[in-house]
Amino acid sequence: MKKIEKSIDQVFTTIQKMNGKSSDIKTRKIVQNQWQIGILFLQSVSSDDKISDILIHSIMEIMEDHTVSEKQLFQGLYNHLYNGTIKEITTYQDLFYHLVNGFTAILVEGENKAIVVETKSTLDRGIQESNTETSLRGPKDSFTENIVVNQGLIRKRIKDPNLYFEELFVGRRTKTKINLAYLSDVADQKRVEKIKKRLQEIDIDGILDSGNLRSFLNSQKSVFPKIMSTERPDFVCGFLLEGKIAILVENTPFVLIFPTLLIDFIHTPGDYYQKSYNVNFSRFLRIFGFFITLLVPAAYIAIMTYNPEMIPDKLFISVAVQREGVPFPTAIEILMLGITFELLRECDLRMPSKMGTAISVVGGLVLGDAAVNAGIVSPFAVIIVAITSIAGLLFSDIDMVNALRWWRLIFILFASMCGMIGVVIASILLITHLSTLETFGIPYLTPFAPFYFKEQSDALFLKIKTKIKDRPRYLSYKNKRRLNWEVKK
Partner 1 sequence: MKKKLFLFLFISIFSLLLTGCYNYHELENLAIVTGLSIDKNENQYIIGVLIANSKKQEASSKEGQSQTIVYEGKGNSIMEAFYNIDLESPKQLYIGHLAVVVIDENIAKKEIEKISDILIRSPESRKNFYVVIARDTKAKDILKITSPLESYPSQSVSMNLKNNSTYQGISTDLTYSEFIASMLTPGINPTLPTIKMTGSVKEGEKQQNLESTDPKTKLKLDTLAIFRNTNLLGYVSEDESRMINILNRRTSYSLESIQYKDNRIVFHLSNFNIKRKATLKDNKPMMNISLQATAAINEINSNMNLSDPKIITEINQLLEERIKKQILHTIHVTQNEFKSDIFGFGNLFYQKYPKYYSNIELHWDEEEYSKIKMNVKVHIDLETKGSLEQTIRREMYGKTTK
Binding site for partner 1 (CB under 8 A): 304-306, 308-309, 313-314, 316-326, 329-332, 373, 378-379, 413, 416-419
The answer to whether 336 and 372 are in contact (CB under 8 A) is no
The answer to whether 233 and 285 are in contact (CB under 8 A) is no
CB of 297 to partner 1, least distance (A): 14
Contacts of 21 (CB under 8 A, 6+ apart): none
Looking at beta carbons only, is 266 or 302 nearer to partner 1? 302
Looking at beta carbons only, is 106 or 415 nearer to partner 1? 415
Write the DSSP assignment of 195-231 as a string of letters. Answer: HHHHHHH---S---SHHHHHHHH--S--SS--SEEE-
CA distance 477 to 469: 14
Q: Which is nearest to 258 in space by CA: 442, 133, 448, 480?
A: 442
CB of 305 to partner 1, least distance (A): 6
Going by their DSSP bridges, the two strands 103-108 and 163-170 should be labelled as unpaired
> Burial of 78 by CB count in 10 Å (0-12 exposed, 13-18 middle, 19+ buried)?
middle
CB of 313 to partner 1, least distance (A): 5
Looking at beta carbons only, is 76 or 379 nearer to partner 1? 379
CA distance 438 to 445: 8
Strands (E), 33-156: 35-42, 86-89, 103-108, 114-118
CB of 419 to partner 1, least distance (A): 7
User: Angle 156-279-458 (CA atoms, 0-180°, nearest 5)?
Assistant: 75
Helix axes 330-350, 398-436, angle to 10 degrees: 130
Looking at beta carbons only, is 168 or 370 nearer to partner 1? 370
Looking at beta carbons only, is 129 or 313 nearer to partner 1? 313
CB of 380 to partner 1, least distance (A): 9
Looking at beta carbons only, is 38 or 422 nearer to partner 1? 422
CB of 346 to partner 1, least distance (A): 22
Looking at beta carbons only, is 305 or 340 nearer to partner 1? 305
CB of 114 to partner 1, least distance (A): 55
CA distance 389 to 295: 12
